[in-house]
Structure formats: C-alpha cells, structure tokens
Amino acid sequence: MGVMERKFSVVGKGVPVKDAKEKVTGSMKYAVDFTVQGMVHGKILRSPHPHARIREIDTSKAEALPGVYAVLTHKDVPQNDWEAAWFNRRGKVLDGVVRFVGDDVAAVAAKTEEIAERALSLIKIDYEILPHVFDMEEAMKPEAPQIRVEGNRRDPYVVAWGDTSEGKDQADVVAECDVLYESQQYAPLGRNACIAEWNGGKVTVWTSSQTPSELRDGIHEALDIPLSKIRVMAMPCGSSFGQWWSVNFMLITVCLARKAGRPVKIELDNEECMVTVKRRHIERTRGRMGCTKGGELTFAEFDHIIDNGGYGFKDDVGFFCVDMWGKARHGSYVVHGVNTNLLTAGCMRGVGDCTLGASVERVADMLAEKVGLDPVEFRLKNQIRAGDELRMQHSRSTMKQTMEEYAASIPDELKESWPKLFHLSSGDTHELLRQGSAKFDWKNRFKGWGKPHTIKGSLRRAVGVGTGAHVCGVEFEGATSAIVRINPDGSVKVHCSVGRQGQGSETTQSQVAAEALGVSFDMVEIETGDTDSCPWSHGSLASNTMYRVGWATRAAAMDARRQLLEVACREFFDSCEPSELDIEEGVIFRKGISRSNVRPTISQVLNTFRSDTLGQTSSITGRPAVPMPPATTFARHFAAHFAEVEVDIESGEIKIIDYLATQDSGTVVNPQVLKNQAIGGAICGAGFAIYEHLVFDPETGAIKNGNLLDYKLLRAADFPSKAEVLFVESYDPVGPFGARGAGEAPIAAAVSAISQAVYNAIGVRVDIPMTPERVIRALNHF
C-alpha cells in the first residue's frame, strides 16, 4: 500500500489539544479532585494473607465508632461475578475469600478518612488460612491450590499454521530462548478515586477510567440492576497504560454508597495504586525458530506462560508479533494463562507484544547472527508485507456467519473500500526499517553483532534495532458507536466513549468529526465519559481509540452531514442531490459552481425550521448505520525503533544516549499528539527494559517495592532529549481519513531495540530488566 497524498483541513494539523489550557493552569479535574455535596469517605480493609477464607467477621465495634456511616462486607454484596474488559478481572466484588496480600476484604464509610481508617482497625476477622501458590508453573500442576472455582488454568490459546516438524527439517540453523519477564507496574501518576451517589435506585459514578461503557457493564453485572439505572461519568486519568479500566474498588464504592445512604468517595493512595489494582503479567517464553542459510524463517515455535495473579482470567496476551513474523513457513504459538496468589495481572500497554514479541525478536536476532545477516536485513526478509495473510485468525472460530454470507451483507457503497479479511490491509515495517535506518545512519553505526562501535575505558557504545506490532482495537466485546449532534447554531458535539489519559482522544476525535463535517475544529466539542450520552464502546484499550472509535465518529459525522445536506437540498437549492453539495468552514455550497450566492451556513439551514410553527427538527443527530469491518482481521500498527546505548562493563550501568522511534499508524491526525505517543511508548518500554520490575516477598507474595523510591521510573535525563520520531503514513482503507491505532507498538519496539543494543555493546544477552546487577552477572564478572 502506498502512502497517499491527501488534502485535509483539520486532520493532519498539530492543533493544541482541547484541554491544553486547563492542563497548564492546573484547573483540570481528575477523579482525586472531585467532590459531591454531602459525601463521606471510604477506606478499604486489605488482606494480610495470600490465600484465606473468612470464617467469621465482626464489624460491630467498627459500626459503633462515632462518625461511621456503614461497614461493607461480603455479606452485603450480591454474589455475582463481574468482569473487567478483556478478562482482566473476573470475580465477585467481595466473596469472603482473599487471593493475594492486599486484596479487598471489607470497606468503611465515615465522616473523615481518619475515622474510616480507625474503623478498619476495629473490624475483627477470623481467617482460615488456605494453601497458596506464587509460582505460575507450580500453579499449573493439578495438585496446586486452586485459586478460582474454574481452576487455575485457562485453556491454551493456540495460533498455528503448517507443520513445525517439517519446518524444523527445513531449517539450516535453529536458535532457542528461555526468557522470564518480571512484572511491570503501571505506577501511575495521578492515583485514582471513585465517587458514587445513589438517587432513587439509580447510581452515578465518577472515576478516572479509560473504559466508561465497560465500567457500567461491570456494575450492572455485579449488582444485577438495569444498565439504564447506572450512569458512569468517566473523568480524565493521570497516566494509566491500561490500569484504570473497571477496577473492583469502584464496585466497592458503589456498594458502600448504597449501604451508607450517602455519596461515598474512596481515594486510593499511591501504594494502593501500585499493589492492590493490577500489574503486567509475569511471563515466560520457551521457544525456538529456524531458518535457512539464506535467512528465511522456516518455523517458529513458542510456548508462553502468563500469570493472571489472583483474579485475572486471560487465556492469551495480544501477541501480534505472530503476524509481524508470520512469513515463517510453519508456526505454533501456544499461550497458557494461570492464576497465582499474587496481585491480579492484566493488560498493560503493549501486552504480549513487549514480552512474547521481545522473545521472538531475540530469537530472530540470534538466527540473524548465525547466518551473518544484519538485523535490519533479517527483518526486511522475514516480516509481513501489506496484503499478506495474517496468522492471527481467532475470529474465524467465533464468527456467526460464513465468510461468504458476511461479505454479501456488506452494503454496496462500502464494498469497494472493504479490505480483504484475514490479510494485512495496509502498513508494514518495510518502509519503517528502510527510512529509519537511513535516518539513524544504521549502516555506519552498526559494527556487527556483539561489537560495540566505541570503547572507552570500561564504557561500550553500540546500536540496536527492534520492531513491535499490535492490533488496532478488537471487536470481541461489541461494536463501537458514536453520536454526532449538530446544534441550531452550527456548533457540533461528539459523544463517544473513550479514555482521556493523555493520548489526546478528545482532540483527535474532534478533528475527525470536524474534517468529516466540513466545520472548523473550534466548532466541535466532545463528551467522552458520560455513559448516558456516549454510546457503547470498548473504550481506550488495545489501541482502539483512533481506529474503531474514530471510524464510528467519522461515520456518525457523515450521517449527520447527510441529514443536514438533505435538508439544505430541499430548502436552499433547486433540483439538487445531497451528493452535489459540500461543506467548508460551516458553509454549504454546490460543488463545482464557483461563488454562487446560495451559500447558507449550517446554522441558517437548521434555523429554517425554528421559525416554522409546525416545529420541525432543528438539530441533527448522526450515528453510524452499520458496524465497522472487524479490525482484528486486517488492521495492525507497527513500530521500528533504533537505539544507542552506553554500557559500563564494570558497574553494569546502562545509559540510553540516542533514539529514533519510527511508526506507521496510517494518517497522522495530530502530529504533536502522536509524537508524544511514540516517545511515551518508547520511554515506558525503555523503563521496562532497564529498571522496572515488581519485587514480591517469597513468603507472602506481597509487593516489596510498591513505591516510587524503589520502583524506578525513568526521568528526563535518563532518556535522550534529542530522541526523534519518524512517521510513515500508509493510508488505511478503513480507518478515519486513513488513520490507524498507535499506542502500543512503540513500547514493544523499544524493549527489543534496547535489548539488542545492549547485546551489541557487550556481547552477552541480558534478560529484562537489564539492571546493573543483571548485566554484571551476565558478564560473569562476579
């Protein structure tokens, strides 16, 4: 697919984000800043045990404490399972069993936080200690303590093609890996809070969430009350990376508020955010790939285990590396999800692709070295090209129709832009690698595998390249919709359910709507978090926002435009079809006819009816008429990152000294917003590569570094300020104005690029996080 030249008025412009002024004046409200009149404060009692059952719980003293409004235990909440998006958590709000140290046990609502805390200490619990298991491979054994009613193990998730034993026969060289990935923590800035207020059997919930619709669904499942009685007002988040979807503390707040008969606010402190909510899985890859002497992959075989912690229920991590490296003639990827008595694990930015994907990259690098190919060359030889078949074909197993029935059901006007399902529709790594290596001067800076380009005393400098992939939203939980309303004054409001965790969605969705309608960016406002007005959407996860919500926003805007032009045709233009009209800067005119005096504004068209005593419509509501083509069957976004590192072989310290992030997310709707995503992903990946990991107590499974002193986050001087971003804009046939998803491929590419650079600097492979100590151990310098 080529890069196409398009002329857009709003899309492609680096307009300042809509909330820029609120952000820089500190007036922007996050959930922690939110209050409602009459609210009281909630605190959660947390489990001291990794696995236990409550035999008896005595809350009488806590309830008697002056200032306490309610104490909530498992006896007070309906025993329904509720599920967070994408199997990130499945379980009851409280069920009298605790499954990790820090798990929710009970809650208190009181006049002040201090009284609530004191009340917590007055709750008496007699626990029956149950056997626990922390190691995921131990947890897979049938004799392991079972943490879930359904058992610890999920069915293996398999992606396979061809016959790997044939592929092994065809291979001239084989390389293997056995890598363990420690758990990364979201470590958000901004914490979170939840405020719930009941009124006549209906509840309103304010909290920072990336998935407003999913949270409403979760509350409905847990409490068994109609969706129409639940209103979620999702607020902007601090940094999230997937942490703030629907979280059990939000459900507790809802239940506590109902019991207390007062609005309740539960605010999480930093430690709670780091040790009681969610984390990335601990993951282990055992795998191998083989290639011919010429460097063609003949097979890829990977077995990957992920630990779901106490409440996760995932059977797979999104691993679109399987598509990126899908040219392997034969393949088998098997993922096993298993529960342990550690903090619940779920999706964190780049899930699967920055772990299993990094394993594939590592094995690919080992093969490339064996056959004497440069890493860029090896990738160019073996990575998917647009038009190739995808290996990830999960949807086939859950389709309701046959492919032919499905294809026949597509409306005629959409057929020509309909991509070929199960094939990569646009964008690949080819141009990224070509342009990126030219810009990074790869040929001169790469001196060969395991060979630093500069040695100075104990310092070694080298470069590395890594590629990463991810999907652009998934449709497994439902179709995404949006509403675009045109007001009588010509101003526009978009309603779409997305997160606002800094990825600029309130801005880019508005740009898409403005472009589709032909109005200026300033005339568009947007609501993103109110489930009363925003139709169902998966939310901002799996790099969903620009692609699927953006598609829906554009479709809704086009529908509004159609309705508007029908009215305009009828009232302002003689013998005219809507297709003959265009809109620019809010003015409607007949195409091709220069400067006629029939140029009504949107407002004029709509106000035509206001003066009519028959009171016909004067505002227009647009929505998509058909669901979007299934994104997982053809859309991927890719990144190729180039890194330069300096390693001190005496201390093992690693510095990242130069960086180029290249990415293909189709049309760049807002360059400044997208650069931030690319670099932000790179920095998150870099942190994972060199420092970030949770440390669990071997006796209790409690997290020992749930604070920012000992969970190290990179700072400004830890990442090169001169880092650059390069976009290749392969126009997407389906995405709004050719745009695709963007948020997650960059973190995957970063992990691989930095890992390879370190290998090239010191000649040995180090598992991530590549702490100074791990580097020294790998160098056998002890």
Under rule CB under 8 A, which residues in 629-658 are in contact with other proteins?
650-651, 653
Terminus-to-terminus CA distance in the chain, angstroms? 52
- Quick one: which H or E segment has residue 119? helix 113-121
Distance CA 301, CA 291 (A): 12
Does the protein bind other proteins through residue 704 (CB under 8 A)? Answer: yes
Print the binding letters for residues 13-52 with other proteins: x by CB under 8 A, - otherwise. -x-xx-xxxxxxxxxxxx-xx-------------------
The token pair that represents 637 in the structure block:
């976004």
Q: Which amino acid does the sequence have at 689?
A: A
Q: Which residue lies nearer to other proteins by CB, 407 or 708?
A: 708
Q: If DSSP codes are grouped into helix, strand and coil, which group holds residue 564?
A: helix
Span from 86-94, 130-138, 411-419, 679-687 in contact with other proteins (CB under 8 A): 679-687
CB 667 within 8 A of CB 6: yes
Does the protein bind other proteins through residue 450 (CB under 8 A)? Answer: no
Does the protein bind other proteins through residue 503 (CB under 8 A)? Answer: yes
Helix-, strand-, coil-residue percentages of the chain, each rounded to 5? 30, 25, 45
Adjacent-strand bridge partners of 232: 205
Span from 170-178, 486-494, 495-503, 591-599 in contact with other proteins (CB under 8 A): 495-503
Span from 132-140, 322-330, 332-340, 681-689 in contact with other proteins (CB under 8 A): 681-689
The token pair that represents 401 in the structure block:
């129709």
> Any idea which residue has 């997982």 for tokens?
632
In the complex, minimum distance from the CB of residue 758 to other proteins, in angstroms, rounded to a whole number? 16
In the complex, minimum distance from the CB of residue 720 to other proteins, in angstroms, rounded to a whole number? 8
Q: Which residue lies nearer to other proteins by CB, 540 or 667?
A: 540
Distance CA 342, CA 345 (A): 8
- For other proteins, which residue of 9, 533, 604, 676 counts as binding (CB under 8 A)? 676
Distances (CA, A) of 435 to 226, 388, 666, 725, 740: 53, 21, 15, 11, 20
CB 416 within 8 A of CB 344: no
> Angle, nearest 10°, between helix axes 430-440 and 375-382?
160
In 122-172, which residue ranges form alpha helices assigned H by DSSP? 136-139, 164-170
Compute how many residues bind other proteins; rule: CB under 8 A: 77
Q: Which residue lies nearer to other proteins by CB, 186 or 446?
A: 186
Does the protein bind other proteins through residue 10 (CB under 8 A)? Answer: no
Distance CA 420, CA 408 (A): 13
Does the protein bind other proteins through residue 112 (CB under 8 A)? Answer: no
Distance CA 28, CA 252 (A): 26
In the complex, minimum distance from the CB of residue 528 to other proteins, in angstroms, rounded to a whole number? 14
Does the protein bind other proteins through residue 164 (CB under 8 A)? Answer: no
Does the protein bind other proteins through residue 619 (CB under 8 A)? Answer: no
Span from 101-109, 357-365, 557-565, 672-680 in contact with other proteins (CB under 8 A): 672-680
The token pair that represents 374 in the structure block:
């440069």
Print the binding letters for residues 207-246 with other proteins: x by CB under 8 A, - otherwise. -----------------------------xxxxx------
Site for other proteins in 315-354 (CB under 8 A): none
The token pair that represents 31 in the structure block:
């959930």
Site for other proteins in 724-743 (CB under 8 A): none
Does the protein bind other proteins through residue 439 (CB under 8 A)? Answer: no
Site for other proteins in 170-209 (CB under 8 A): 187-191
CB 207 within 8 A of CB 245: no
Does the protein bind other proteins through residue 683 (CB under 8 A)? Answer: yes
Does the protein bind other proteins through residue 546 (CB under 8 A)? Answer: no
Does the protein bind other proteins through residue 598 (CB under 8 A)? Answer: no
In the complex, minimum distance from the CB of residue 727 to other proteins, in angstroms, rounded to a whole number? 15
